[in-house]
Structure 1
Amino acid sequence: MNKLDILVIAAHPDDAELGCSGTIAAHIAKGFKVGIVDLTHGEMGTRGTPEIRLQEAADAAKILGLSARENLGFKDIYFKDDEAHQLELIKVIRKYQPEIVLANAITDRHPDHGKGASLASNACFMSGLRKIETELDGVAQQAWRPKFVYHYIQNNYIQPDFIVDISAHWDTKVASIMAFKSQFYDPASQEPASFISSPEFLPFIESRSRELGHRIMVKYGEGFTVERFIGVDNLFDLR
């Protein structure tokens, strides 16, 4: 009942929306089941509170039509790619048994993004080791290893290994991002300014998506990097 086709792992609430929500929406529209697990509440962010971020994440989940969303409550900034955190993430991977995992950028301006990428990658491999024993609600879990781990591109530009056409789902991406209204530009806000609350930040997100879309001759795109080569048996599967 819990099985997902795609599980998105994000260090902070709004990482998935900013990095790959167009891809999420595109696959949900095709009938795939997609979920998000946020590692932290983003409590060290300049704006908002953990409670606000949780509500915003729930609002974004409804906009996207997610099959599941949960938050592991790791400490923002201070979580590590270590045994304790790996085991908690392994439980989630085994719970949802995704075929594909989308994870944070392998390196980025925010150090949690690279840590999140490493943690997700290691947990996905370790989840397939049957001698690592985990339980969920008192029931032993079976080993499960996703077939593919892809990393979405975030603030820093990284040369993508492939680009997804999200043109038909751009409005859904924008709506899911704007669900996190505490985080972005609001001239009426009394909270301190942050890197992502500047009036230039959301136009940057659109410019990035337009640039990536232009690379594959569509209006909007989202880029991903891979951990291993992608193979095809039909050249006409490529566009």
Structure 2
Amino acid sequence: MKVDILAFGVHPDDVELGCSGTLIASAKAGKKVAVVDLTGGELGTRGTVDTRKTEAADAAGVMLLAARENLEMADGFFQHDEANVRKVITVIRKYQPEIVLCNAPEDRHPDHGRSSKLVADAAFLSGLRKIETVYNNQPQQQWRPAYVFHYIQDRYLKPDFVFDISDHFEEKIKSVLCYKTQFNTLDASEPATYISNPDFLETIKGRALMLGKRIGVKYAEGYLSAKTPGINSFDAFIQQVT
């Protein structure tokens, strides 16, 4: 299955927090979108691997995904090694995305930065034909995405560009709230966490408002790119203003 956009998250709920507005907007515009989670989030304080699987499937429906899968790396302990790079190369070659979205280069959770480097390196290596991978007992062809963009997560990083999600912000929040064990809960049967308090959602809204203000819209999501995106017309900028 070829997709237009393949979004990676090291934990189920990363893409919902970081780039779900972009994914929903893109899917509604006719793009084919898929998500790959690297781990099951098994070290999360609240919930279980099984509840996270159910929550991730529910969120996939909200985000209008064509596919979602999990590479089952070790939460907290996965390494940037050949085995894991090959797993990511295989899935990139499977979906052949033009755009890859992945975790922030550095963030509060150390897994985010480590996975960011892992995915970015795999996206490059996926274009080398002498790296051989197999899927469904068939050799894969090399494939290199045109761009790898890193979505901004907990820590503020100055974006290289922002994506207008004004018309899809409520759906973004709906996708986040699919993780009932993780967010917006005062359930005291498990320990409270940094993200479980309902006030955490206000920080998500505040970030989206702040990024939206940078381009004169209500809500936006921010991205970093090592490769400078180019244009061949100023029309896109003019359309934004008008």
TM-score normalised according to structure 2 size: 0.97
Aligned amino acid, residue 208 of structure 2: S
1:184: how far off? 1.1
Instruction: Name the CA distance, whole Å, in 2 between partners of 1:103 and 1:188.
Output: 31
Calculate percent identity across the aligned residue pairs: 52
1:121: how far off? 0.2
Instruction: Name the CA distance, whole Å, in 2 between partners of 1:95 and 1:27.
Output: 20
1:189: how far off? 3.9
Instruction: Name the CA distance, whole Å, in 2 between partners of 1:153 and 1:70.
Output: 22
Which residue matches 1:235?
234
1:121-136 equivalence runs, <5 A = 121-136=120-135
Superposition CA RMSD, Å: 0.8
Q: Deviations over 1:90-149 (max 9, x none)?
A: 110000000000010011000000011000100000000000000011100000000000
Instruction: Name the CA distance, whole Å, in 2 between partners of 1:30 and 1:233.
Output: 22
1:81: how far off? 1.3
1:154: how far off? 0.0
Instruction: Name the CA distance, whole Å, in 2 between partners of 1:21 and 1:104.
Output: 13
Which residue matches 1:176?
175
Moved over 4 A (4+): none
Instruction: Name the CA distance, whole Å, in 1 between partners of 2:229 and 2:196.
Output: 37
1:199: how far off? 2.8
1:185: how far off? 2.8
Instruction: Name the CA distance, whole Å, in 2 between partners of 1:231 and 1:116.
Output: 26
1:207-222 equivalence runs, <5 A = 207-222=206-221
Instruction: Name the CA distance, whole Å, in 2 between partners of 1:204 and 1:83.
Output: 37
Instruction: Name the CA distance, whole Å, in 2 between partners of 1:174 and 1:198.
Output: 15
Aligned amino acid, residue 236 of structure 1: D
Matched positions, count: 238
Note if 1:20 corresponds to 2:19: yes
Instruction: Name the CA distance, whole Å, in 2 between partners of 1:186 and 1:177.
Output: 12
Instruction: Name the CA distance, whole Å, in 1 between partners of 2:142 and 2:225.
Output: 23
Alignment check: 8 A CA contact 2:3 2:97 kept? yes
Which residue matches 1:58?
57
Instruction: Name the CA distance, whole Å, in 1 between partners of 2:193 and 2:81.
Output: 30
Which residue matches 1:78?
77
Instruction: Name the CA distance, whole Å, in 1 between partners of 2:109 and 2:35.
Output: 20
Which residue matches 2:136?
137
Q: Deviations over 1:150-176 (max 9, x none)?
A: 000000000000011100001110110
List runs of 5+ in structure 2 lacking aligned partners: none
Which residue matches 1:187?
186
* Structure 1 residue matching 2:76: 3-state secondary structure: coil
List runs of 5+ in structure 1 lacking aligned partners: none
Which residue matches 1:203?
202
Aligned amino acid, residue 53 of structure 1: R
Instruction: Name the CA distance, whole Å, in 1 between partners of 2:229 and 2:61.
Output: 32
